[in-house]
Structure 1
Amino acid sequence: MTFDSFNLPPLLQQEAQRCAASLGISLNQFILSAVAEKVGILTEHLDNPVFPELTYRRGASGLAVPILHGTGLRVQTLAIASQQWGLSAGQIAAEYDLSETQVNAALAFYAAHQQEIDQAIALEVALESAYNV
């Protein structure tokens, strides 16, 4: 199976080729993997209609991770910026090139799912500590 007749915008194709090369796979394999991942996410129906600005993506651990649509930024990243670094929504928006509406949506999602996201943050901290020994 090939995707030779599939046209990507040139910049997207270049980025996809770089990603494929860094993974040591062909562009066709990369596209197939990306499509399979996206189809898997869409068929899981993890999105929450209360928070339409957010979606889920499978992280390296295989766990579904809440992110801002179209950005790849994890909600936990913005929660850390707010909770641990003490940044305001405006400061976070400026730091990550987001709108304040996006930041507020992510922080509202965090407030509604704080225990789940705090556990994910703690797990990452523990993993980093284990690897940095």
Structure 2
Amino acid sequence: MNGRYSLNLPIDLKQEAEQVAEQQKISLNQLILWSLTEKVTSLKGNLNDPEFPSISYRRDSTNQLIPIIRGKGIRVQTIVIASKQWKESVADICKQYGLSKKMVDDALGFYSAHKKIVDALIEENELLENVHA
């Protein structure tokens, strides 16, 4: 197999997916890969917390599981930083990242319930930024 694949998506689904990809400023291929990765990770690990249906997991380049907003690929830690460090309102976060209020509320609720995990991810990213600065 050469890594190429063909999908026969229903026209309506393809058009909707193209719109979402454009909103996220990514290719349709990236959106499909993100979605498939989220679904496979979810099914394999069953890590999803039923209290936060908007939150799923994706593996990063180091194979570490990262909590993200389902269907958007935005990391929970990004929303937490916007809210806690930058003091942005939920409405501003929704507008800036193209999210529903429910998605932002789930991300912040997930943070409250899993604070140690998300704080560790934030700290790790800050350390990496300082090393590469």
Give the TM bin, normalised by the shorter chain.
0.7 to 0.9
Greater radius of gyration (CA)? 1
Aligned-partner Cα distance in 2 for 1:39–1:93? 27
Aligned counterpart, 1:131: 132
Query: In the aligned structure 2, how far is the partner of 1:36 from the partner of 1:73?
Result: 14
Structure 2 residue 102 is the aligned partner of structure 1 residue 110? no
| Cα displacement (A) at 1:83 | 0.5
* d(CA) in 1 for partners of 2:38, 2:102: 28
Q: d(CA) in 2 for partners of 1:73 and 1:91?
A: 15
Q: Distance in 1 between matches of 2:104 and 2:5?
A: 37
- Corresponding position of 2:47: 46
Out of 34-43 and 81-90, give the one that drifted further: 34-43
The alignment status of 1:71 with 2:84, answered yes or no, reads: no
Show the 5 A alignment for 1:1-133: 1=1, 3-4=5-6, 6-8=7-9, 9=14, 11=18, 15-16=28-29, 38-132=39-133
Deviation at 1:97, TM superposition (A): 1.4
Q: Which of structures 1 and 2 has the larger relative contact order (alpha carbons within 8 angstroms, sep 6+)? A: 2
1:60-94 CA-to-partner distances (Å, cap 9, x unmatched) read 22111111111111110000000000011111111
Moved more, 44-53 or 75-84: 44-53
AA aligned to 1:77 is T
Q: Quote the sequence identity (%).
A: 37
4+ residue runs of structure 1 moved beyond 6 angstroms?
none
**TM-score of the pair, normalised by structure 2:** 0.73
Shift, 1:35, TM fit:
5.3
Q: Gaps (5+ residues) in structure 2?
A: 22-26
- Match of 2:71, SS state, is coil
Gapped runs of 5+ residues in structure 1? 20-29
Q: CA RMSD in A?
A: 2.6
Query: Equivalent residue of 2:61, what SS?
Result: coil
CA separation of 1:37/1:47 partners in 2, compared to 1, >3 Å: closer, same or farther? closer
